[in-house]
Amino acid sequence: MVGNGLLTAAICGNIYTSLNVTQIQQAINLVGSGSGGTLLVIKNYTGDVLNFGLASKQTKASGLNIDGHVIIVSDNTDGALHLNRGLVGTVLVYKVSAALACSGMSLAVVEEAAKQVANAVATIDVRFLAADKVKLGMGLHNEPGFQHLHPTPPLNELID
């Protein structure tokens, strides 16, 4: 997801763990150096929200004049609207933010648009459990979901 018209940087870490504050601060400093700021688009997971938020605050307090603005994406729902995690809707936030940044928009304009997209996008997982059975709303980490469909409806009905 890093490239022209996409992200400026992505931070890789261990599977199933949040990045640590030092890793995030290093990326903010590398990307934000000379630009006056960075937009941190993260998925709504506890460790990421804590560590990115802390890294942003510490970077602002460091005196380097590099702002790290945090956008939290909570697009994925279990259907009951209480388990909102970030998932594939994050890609839309990346794309809109990148397009605006590439067109020369200010960080404030990019941040506001990213917030609007993050607040408007919604996704629901559909898991195929068997050839004729699906479950709606299962989370990324196998949260229970909210509805079984048997038999599996045609794709156009499932999407509607």
Enumerate the H helices of the chain as residue ranges: 21-32, 46-61, 89-102, 107-120, 155-159
Q: How many residues does the chain have?
A: 160
Instruction: Give me the mean pLDDT over the 52-63 stretch.
Output: 88
Q: Which residues contact 53 (CB under 8 A, 6 or more apart)?
A: 70
CB atoms within 10 A of CB 87: 20
pLDDT at 50 over 90: yes
DSSP state of 35: T
Instruction: Give me the mean pLDDT over the 77-104 stretch.
Output: 84
Residue 65 C-beta-side C-alpha neighbours within 13 Å: 3
Of the pLDDT bands very low, low, confident and very high (cuts 50, 70, 90), residue 79 is: low
State pTM to two decimals.
Answer: 0.83
Catalytic-role residue among 69, 82, 141, 148: 141
| For the chain, percent of residues with pLDDT exceeding 70 | 91
pLDDT at 41 over 90: yes
Q: Which residues contact 47 (CB under 8 A, 6 or more apart)?
A: 17, 18
pLDDT at position 117: 97
pLDDT at 60 over 80: yes
CB atoms within 10 A of CB 99: 14
Of the pLDDT bands very low, low, confident and very high (cuts 50, 70, 90), residue 61 is: confident
pLDDT at position 34: 65
Please indicate whether residue 141 is annotated as part of the active site.
yes
pLDDT at 81 over 60: no
Give the Cα-Cα-Cα angle 39, 114, 126 (nearest 5 degrees). Answer: 115
Q: Which residues contact 26 (CB under 8 A, 6 or more apart)?
A: none
Least confident of 29-33, 93-97, 105-109, 154-158: 29-33
